[in-house]
Amino acid sequence: MSNSTLAAPQLGFGNVSKARAARMNTPDSKRAIQIPGTKGLPAVKAVAGQKSERGVKPFPTKQSIVLCNSVAAMLDAQIPLSRALEFYSARLTKEDLRLTLKSITVAVDRGDDNHKAFAGTGRFDSTFIGLVRAGTMASNLSAALRALARRMKTNAEFLAKLRKALLTPSGVLVFLWGLLIYSMTGLIPNVEKMLKDMRVEPDAFSGTVFGFSHFFQVTYIPATIGMITFALVCWRSRSFRDLMSRMIMSRWRLLRRIVMGFRQLTFIGTFEMLIANNIPIADSLETCARTLKNTPLEKELLEVKLKVALGMNLGEAIRRYTSVDPQLSHMIEIGEKASNLPEQLRLLRDLYEEDTAQQIEFFTGFVGILSKVVTVALIGGIYLGTYLPIIMAGVKLMSAGM
């Protein structure tokens, strides 16, 4: 990726009287020079800069949802894509977003494929690019953009619910970790010393608490450093987050079903749109694979494409060479035999949308309850570990006095 400086006396987005320079990220110098000499930007000079350390930032999710719905409405009104993007960009206040859309507009006007124009900005993921390509192939780009908006909205709502379920308990757990450190390194040793001074033998529970305190005092510093390091690596490294996600998914069936639901829903929606518009099955499968780039389904669908080209039935190939749910391959097989495959795919799409939404609700509710249970357990453990030895010692002293 390269940063490109666009020096523009007149950017063409509103009244700009003074010369100024705008910086945007582009995949290469070729993309940067697409803007000069176009309508609205007559005097822009593009200069390729040094590489950005962080790379290109993705197009904001909320803006992407509004963009897809707005452009889809204009496409339904027979407004060309380049003009629809131009009309939409006029309402944006952030200059980098306007320049991104302007770059797409220029690329489309110059004859680039729609999906290549979006991909050239480096700000849209493979699913977005794949669905734009599928919508263009099916001559139904507005439907593809609306499907994208639905998918992004569902994903954003899931992440918002998950953050809501985890944010407060996570803050409480951080506080409790600090309280646990204070208790095990300060309060518990004082209680142990007090009992020794009083020459009172600790009971079994108190002895266990004191033993854990000794262990905790040795390990809490490296444990704290490890947790902070883990959090930082998760925050900074996408590959590490993906690795952790795969590990958790392999152990947690519910999360695996949600992720697979999203992937299968993307496959079904894309495949249905293409098949309904008479796109050949081989081309449809290849486009679906590109839409699901960097997922196991990408290679699986390409394998299905090869098997179908060799004469195998689509439903059988999906059942044997993919990891999708059995009901999905079964209904595709029925649709293939009954010659109503688009109808079966629409039924599957509606089914998976409803099923995925229900699983998300259950997952976020379960995570919220689980985090509260862990919080209460930690509070109870700290309280009992701190005060119960004192209470038990008092009972022993009273018994001895009697």
Higher-pLDDT residue of 14, 187: 187
Element (H, E) at 20: strand 20-26
Q: Which residues contact 244 (CB under 8 A, 6 or more apart)?
A: 234
**Range 12-39 average pLDDT:** 46
Averaged pLDDT, 239-245: 77
Whole-angstrom CA distances from 382 to 2, 6, 105, 324 are 53, 59, 61, 46
Average confidence (pLDDT) over 158-185: 79
The more confident residue out of 304 and 367 is 304
Phi (first) and psi of residue 203, to 5 degrees: -75, 180
- What's the pLDDT band for 400 if we cut at 50, 70, 90? low
Q: How confident is the model at residue 254 (pLDDT cuts 50, 70, 90)?
A: confident
Specify the pLDDT at position 11: 36
Looking at residue 4, what is its pLDDT? 43
Residue 306: predicted pLDDT: 92
Position 125 pLDDT exceeds 50: yes
Q: Which amino acid is at 157?
A: E
Q: Would you say 142 and 72 are in contact if contact means Cβ atoms under 8 Å apart?
A: yes
17 exposure class (CB count in 10 Å sphere: 0-12, 13-18, 19+) = exposed
Ordered DSSP codes for 134-156 = HHHHTT-HHHHHHHHHHHHHHHH
Q: Mean pLDDT throughout 220-249?
A: 83
Burial class (CB in 10 A: 0-12, 13-18, 19+), 150: middle
Whether the per-residue pLDDT at 337 is higher than 60: the answer is yes
Mean pLDDT, the chain, as a whole number?
Answer: 78
Query: What pLDDT is attached to residue 74?
Result: 93
> Which has the minimum average pLDDT: 100-104, 190-194, 316-320, 327-331?
190-194
- Residue 245 in contact with residue 263, Cβ under 8 Å? no
pLDDT at residue 112 greater than cutoff 60: yes
Give the mean pLDDT of 219-246.
Answer: 84
Span 271-308, pLDDT tens digits: 888 888 778 888 889 888 888 888 888 899 999 999 99
Report d(CA 227, CA 255) in Å as an integer: 23
Q: Place 12 in a pLDDT band, splitting at 50, 70 and 90.
A: very low
pLDDT band at 41 (very low <50, low <70, confident <90, very high): very low
Q: 250 is written with which tokens?
A: 């392999």
Segment 151-156 mean pLDDT: 82
Structure tokens at 92: 């944006």
Whose structure tokens read 């110059």? 110
* pLDDT above 80 for 71: yes
Is residue 73 very low, low, confident or very high in pLDDT (cuts 50, 70, 90)? very high
